[in-house]
Amino acid sequence: MTGSIAIAVSGGVDSLVSAYLLKQQENDVFGIHFLTGYEKPVESGSEGIKALSRQLGLPIVSIDLKTQFKTRVVDYFTAAYQNGETPNPCLVCNPTIKFGVLFDEARRLGASRLATGHYARVEAQQDGRYRLCRGVDETKDQSYFLSRLTQDQLARACFPLGTWTKAQVKALAEEKGLHPLTRQESQDVCFIRDASYAEFLTRTAGICPQPGDIVNTAGHRVGTHNGLHRYTVGQRRGINCPASQAYYVVGIDIRRNRLVVGFKDELVANSCRVSDINWIAGVPQTPMAADTRIRYRHRAVPSMVSPVGHDGAVVRFDRPQTAVTPGQGAVFYRGDEVLGGGWIAAE
């Protein structure tokens, strides 16, 4: 398998079609399926993997990454909620698991590159650097989730679906008789399937609910919450405090175990701080105009990004934004290119 491309095969239609496309291009390809410990039996059983292998005409190797996934992704997820933040596990999984330990295993098996079913593009430049760009399907673009990949990781990454739309992928799968193990679309938190986040954190991660006060932005008590891990900034449901308008979560005070709520007009922010930025396109030396995306289901908006040190920035939005949430990723774009991405920090 020396010089091969390893394709991460999850069992879904995107990775299945990616593997098919790579094989059609006469690449030396093999599949690699990694176990997180949170799959449904149909997705992790040997018979299912064998069925995928027969469909594709490719060998598929299963790799057990349960321990690494638990310590690097699930524990991060739990710790973020304990710190009053809202985590984004895909932003951690891609650089540390898929293009981290999984690629290390693929390289041990002889692969020089790792392909995934992400809707994104990588472009090599003449100076030896790599650009990460949006996928052409705006509704499925996943460049946001890849914004923490390093130059070294982008150099060995392959995204066959970057120029495809989801509709084209489904049509090709039907035409070629490619049958995924699961029809379920990939989701932000793949390890939580049959429970709410709060139930998972209580049942699996051992977080014990600690009731406390709900206060408004003036500091007046308006109710009682049943555990801060049940809330995130911007949330409306589950507050259950009568008022002249609907309350939204505007802050989480871990130190005093208080949930801070306010009306919708109190949820907006003109700016935010971003920390631990992975600058794909190089560290900017002066403030720059960029479009900033503050969560996956958010359209990137015009802003001014002022660098602070090597990996920090202050972002000032051209127009105030709602639900700027500590712990979520802030990703910077110029056109289709991803300039970098970091973590929204609490003010």
| pLDDT classification of 1: cutoffs 50, 70, 90 | very low
Say what the pLDDT of residue 93 is.
Answer: 97
**227: which 2 tokens?**
């555990």
- Does 83 have pLDDT greater than 60? yes
Mean pLDDT across the stretch 231-247? Answer: 94
Mean pLDDT across the stretch 325-334? Answer: 97
Residue among 93, 133, 158, 272 flagged as catalytic: 93
Q: Is 323 exposed, middle or buried (0-12, 13-18, 19+ CB in 10 A)?
A: buried
- Strand, coil or helix: 156: coil
CA-to-CA distance for 128 and 301, rounded, in angstroms? 30
CA-to-CA distance for 110 and 94, rounded, in angstroms? 21
Pick the range with the lowest mean pLDDT from 53-67, 147-161, 193-207, 325-339. 193-207
- Does 84 have pLDDT greater than 50? yes
Does the active-site annotation cover 133?
no
Does the active-site annotation cover 93?
yes
Q: What percentage of the chain exceeds 90 in pLDDT?
A: 85
77 closest CA partner among 194, 188, 187, 195: 188
- Does 42 have pLDDT greater than 90? no
Mean pLDDT across the stretch 276-301? Answer: 96
CA-to-CA distance for 160 and 320, rounded, in angstroms? 37
> CB–CB of 329/259 below 8 Å?
no
> Could you say which DSSP state residue 346 is in?
P
pTM across the whole model: 0.94
φ and ψ at residue 175, rounded to 5 degrees: -65, -40
> Could you say which DSSP state residue 146 is in?
G
pLDDT in tens, 295-319: 998 999 999 999 999 999 999 999 9
Beta strands in 49-191 (DSSP E): 60-64, 111-115, 120-124, 130-134, 157-158
φ and ψ at residue 257, rounded to 5 degrees: 50, 50
Say what the pLDDT of residue 209 is.
Answer: 85
Mean pLDDT across the stretch 184-208? Answer: 81
SS3 for 177-246 is CCCCCCCCCCCCCCCCCCCCHHHHHHHCCCCCCCCEEEEECCCCEEEEECCHHHCCCCCCCCCCCCCCCC
Say what the pLDDT of residue 186 is.
Answer: 60
29 forms bridges with which residues in the sheet?
5
Residue among 90, 133, 158, 190 flagged as catalytic: 190
CA-to-CA distance for 178 and 318, rounded, in angstroms? 46
- Does 75 have pLDDT greater than 90? yes
Q: Return the ∠ at Cα 184 (arms to 85 and 337), rounded to 5°.
A: 60
pLDDT in tens, 104-133: 999 999 999 999 999 999 999 999 999 999
| pLDDT classification of 188: cutoffs 50, 70, 90 | low
Say what the pLDDT of residue 193 is.
Answer: 80
